[in-house]
Chain A
């Protein structure tokens, strides 16, 4: 179990607990934050990044692992395909079965279109399912969409695309209402008032939650609704390339059965990419809180078809990933733990920062504490700081943690750690892709009839996302893409399907002297032991 060093340090944390509860650490100034990020945030490092040498964003900085896939070899390059036949036909083809894809499918169905979801794992095997802390929406008396806008813009370093952020904050309350009417159970007081808390960087308590299963509760409800509506498609079916018509408009996808390898052709009038994030690419060697399929597939598909990326060089490292025990290394410890009052404490028992700075600042601050300042605790796999979870019941009364953070309590109890009594060791974990494919407010990319929603979109959150704005974004922009893609589908007459863009891409690879054999999209990571 715990090493002697951990136990000694834990004693210091316990001894200082009463003092640390009573004192509120100062928030950093704008200048202090800027300086901290520059020196300690992984996004600001030179190594780990490279520049794209081809495609719509040639010259732009991206993580090395992403570059290799964006410039990779197509999985259809060596296949003989008959594109005149169609195994599936739909009005709207949705690639990805997470929160955004499911929301899009429900709206497309609602609009009277034939929607189809393909997903490489199962519907609901997605980061949405794993979002714990909550969903933001400005629905309280002291709050407003304008205030939400200001928080997100400041947190995002003023790089958020204004029109997209406007949509996010304006449609936020409507999204929460839509979910509630589908039957999502939000934490409410006796009179129906939503129980809301802060997240890092929020100026109002607008974090709505369903215990610490917020995303799971949303995702399983959306999945149930998709099933009720008999929306077709398939689990364990990946999209390995988009199809474009002779005018370069999206018109379907080449699919592959993940188990049998069978290739299938899906034709559709419009296509929505809702493939989520990229944590499983393990940028800069970080562990990840993401689900098994988070491999940036949609970015690869879109890029090869000519869609542009925005901010693909900005990632989010969640400040509090599990650092110990090793079985759950990198797993998410929800920010809600800090929303509920638990503070970050270094090896000496000092509360070294305000617990609710934005995520990039918090992550950088923890990295500084564990590196240059030498105040980390050795875990055997690196350094970590404490998150003092016993504070929660001391502040709010016994039983609070169990009621509001049951998932966290369970996750640790499987390894004999009772987080009501014992603080936990945390270190940043790769959590979210801030960047992605660029869209206009209708959800469309620069490739006609190709829409994007959810984590695969870039720009909504600028260069750093606030907690609770991603669950909100998958709902708002998922529904938005579903509505616009189905409206557009009603105007489209299907053309001839082609893979000319893939051939052009292969030719450009040749011209640029890129001879890598890495197949992309990646589809799944490989964790088998290499002997």
Chain B
């Protein structure tokens, strides 16, 4: 029998095995989740959660699927936070400083409190990537924000009303589309395919009987 701990889910006390994640504890307690549960693996940001350990003044944040319960943990889930997402046509934007000024001008109202960084369950330097976005350095903003799961906890703590994950999303798309150098070999191959240059070899292999295919497969050369 596992050691049991007390957790307070939305203020109500439950006794649960000590090794469970917060999400596991909710299900153990009887919650059949609809909201606040997505990939269960730390990638989707559906299970943003705030908690406080009894006697501790600090309000902590976490992803419920990635955090183990502790004794006397007060848990509240935050499965939706109204982020501001501006609409744009990525094909018509240019990766310059003006973009952020037009779409997300509130980033320039950042007061440098760093609450966003402290809140990030992915431990990203959120305030710093916003600083890069302010300067129009989208490559750096993209790099620092890359592991963002868009859970929105940072924005819930921001006194300036910044929707950090959306700012970072825009920066990454600008970087991926305009700033990172083009893959010449990809462009070339797409054109070869469009021009029908790859069709003949493919047809030839498709027309082979299975026995011949097996021979080819079992003796194919594997790149080092």
In the complex, how many angstroms separate the beta carbon of A258 from the nearest chain B beta carbon?
Answer: 5
Bound CA span A332–B223, Å:
26
Q: Which residues of A contact B169 (CB under 8 A)?
A: 220-221, 224
Against A, the Cβ 8 Å flags (1 = close, 0 = not) of B179-202 are 011111111011001100011011
- Report yes or no: B183 in contact with A192, Cβ–Cβ below 8 A: yes
CB atoms of A194 and B172 under 8 A apart: no
In this assembly, does B9 line the interface, its C-beta being within 8 Å of a C-beta of chain A?
A: no
Q: Determine the residue in chain A with the shortest Cβ distance to B216.
A: A150
A379 to chain B, nearest CB (A): 13
- Picked from B32, B68, B201, the residue with its CB within 8 Å of the CB of A528 is B32
Q: Determine which of A151, A176, A203, A291 lies in contact with B186 in the assembled complex, contact meaning CB atoms within 8 Å.
A: A176
Q: Does B35 contact A (CB under 8 A)?
A: yes
Question: How long is the Cα–Cα vector from A524 to B35 in the complex, in angstroms?
Answer: 11
A211 at the interface (CB under 8 A from B): yes
Select from chain A the residue with minimum beta-carbon distance to B87: A228
Contact of B177 among A149, A183, A193, A220 (CB under 8 A): A183
- Give the residue of A145, A192, A203, A211 whose beta carbon is less than 8 angstroms from that of B222: A203
Chain A window 265-291, contacts with chain B (Cβ cutoff 8 Å), 1 for yes, 0 for no = 000000000000000000000000101
Mask for A140-151, Cβ within 8 A of B = 1, else 0?
111011110111
CB distance from B52 to the nearest CB of A (A): 19
Given contacts A192-B180, A529-B30, contact A125 B66 (CB under 8 A): no
Residues of B within 8 A of A181 (CB): 177
Known A146-B204, A204-B223, A327-B24; judge A192-B189 contact (CB<8 A).
no
Name the contact of B46 in the complex, choosing from A125, A205, A529 (C-beta under 8 A).
A125
Residues B160-177 near A (CB distance < 8 A): 169, 172-177
In this complex, the member of A140, A203, A327 whose beta carbon has the largest number of chain B beta carbons within 10 angstroms is A327
Q: Is A122 an interface residue (CB 8 A)?
A: yes
Q: Which residue of A lies closest to B41 (CB)?
A: A331
Segment of B53-61, B111-119, B129-137, B146-154 in the binding face: B146-154
Could you tell me if A177 and B223 are in contact, using CB atoms closer than 8 angstroms?
no
Assembled-state Cα–Cα distance A325/B67 (Å): 12
B193 contacts A174, C-beta separation under 8 Å: yes
The answer to whether A411 touches B42, judged by C-beta atoms less than 8 angstroms apart, is: yes
Contacting pair B185 A194 (CB below 8 A): yes
B223, A205: Cβ atoms under 8 Å?
Answer: yes
Residue of A142, A190, A258 touching B181 (CB-CB under 8 A) = A190
With contact pairs A162-B206, A173-B190 given, residues A186 and B183 touching in the complex (Cβ less than 8 Å): yes
Contacting pair A528 B31 (CB below 8 A): yes
CB under 8 Å from chain B, chain A span 184-235: 184-186, 188, 190-194, 198, 203-205, 210-211, 213, 215-217, 220-221, 224-225, 227-228, 230
Does A440 interact with chain B (Cβ within 8 Å)? no
Q: Please determine whether B39 and A138 come into contact, CB atoms closer than 8 angstroms.
A: no
Contact A30 B218 (CB under 8 A): yes
- Report A-chain residues with C-beta under 8 Å of the C-beta of B4: none
Q: How far is the CA of A328 from the CA of B185 in the complex (A)?
A: 39
Q: Does B51 contact A (CB under 8 A)?
A: no
A291 close to B39 (CB less than 8 A): yes
Taking CB atoms, residues of chain A closer than 8 Å to B184 are 191-193
Q: Which residues of the partner chain A approach B190 to less than 8 Å between Cβ atoms?
A: 139, 173-174, 177
Cα A158 to Cα B216 with chains together (Å) = 12
Q: Chain B interface residue count: which class? A: 35 or more
Q: Chain A contacts of B1 at CB under 8 A?
A: none
B87 & A230 in contact (Cβ 8 Å cutoff): yes
A407 contacts which chain B residues (CB < 8 A)? 42-43, 147
Minimum distance in angstroms from B64 CB to a CB of chain A: 11
Contact A140 B185 (CB under 8 A): yes
Q: Which of B38, B66, B174 contacts A121 (CB 8 A)?
A: B38
Smallest Cβ distance from A293 to chain B, in angstroms? 8
Chain B residues within 8 Å of A177, by CB:
186-187, 190
CA–CA, A331 and B44, complex, Å: 14
B94 within 8 Å of A by Cβ?
Answer: no
| Residue from the list B34, B46, B187, B198 in contact with A170, Cβ < 8 A | B198
- A424 vs B77: C-alpha distance when bound (angstroms): 31
Q: Does B13 contact A (CB under 8 A)?
A: no
Contact yes or no, A291 B44, CB < 8 A: yes
Task: Give the distance to chain B from A229, nearest Cβ to Cβ, in Å.
Answer: 8
**Contact between A129 and B43, CB atoms less than 8 A apart:** yes
B1 to chain A, nearest CB (A): 14
Whether B181 pairs with A221 at a CB distance below 8 angstroms is no
Residues of A within 8 A of B19 (CB): 325-327
Give the Cβ gap from B91 to chain A, nearest Cβ, in Å: 8
Q: Find A124's partner among B20, B35, B44, B194 (CB 8 Å cutoff).
A: B44
27 contacts between A and B (CB under 8 A): A29-B218, A129-B43, A139-B185, A149-B202, A153-B213, A154-B217, A170-B198, A171-B193, A176-B186, A177-B186, A177-B187, A183-B172, A186-B180, A188-B180, A188-B181, A191-B181, A204-B223, A220-B150, A220-B169, A221-B169, A221-B176, A224-B173, A227-B85, A291-B39, A410-B123, A524-B32, A529-B29
What would 20 more interface pairs be, CB under 8 Å, given A124-B44, A216-B44? A121-B46, A129-B43, A130-B43, A140-B185, A142-B223, A171-B193, A183-B175, A191-B181, A191-B184, A198-B223, A213-B43, A215-B43, A221-B172, A228-B90, A291-B38, A292-B37, A327-B68, A332-B41, A528-B32, A529-B29
Across the A-B interface, the 6 shortest Cβ-Cβ residue pairs = A183-B173, A192-B181, A154-B217, A185-B176, A125-B38, A183-B176
Residues of A within 8 A of B (CB): 29-30, 121-122, 124-125, 129-130, 137-142, 144-147, 149-151, 153-154, 158, 162, 166, 169-171, 173-174, 176-177, 180-186, 188, 190-194, 198, 203-205, 210-211, 213, 215-217, 220-221, 224-225, 227-228, 230, 236, 258-259, 289, 291-292, 325-328, 331-332, 406-407, 410-411, 414-415, 524, 526-529
Interface residues of B (CB under 8 A from A): 19-21, 24, 27-35, 37-44, 46, 66-68, 85, 87-90, 122-123, 142, 146-147, 149-150, 169, 172-177, 180-187, 189-190, 193-194, 198-199, 201-202, 204-206, 210, 213-214, 216-218, 220-223
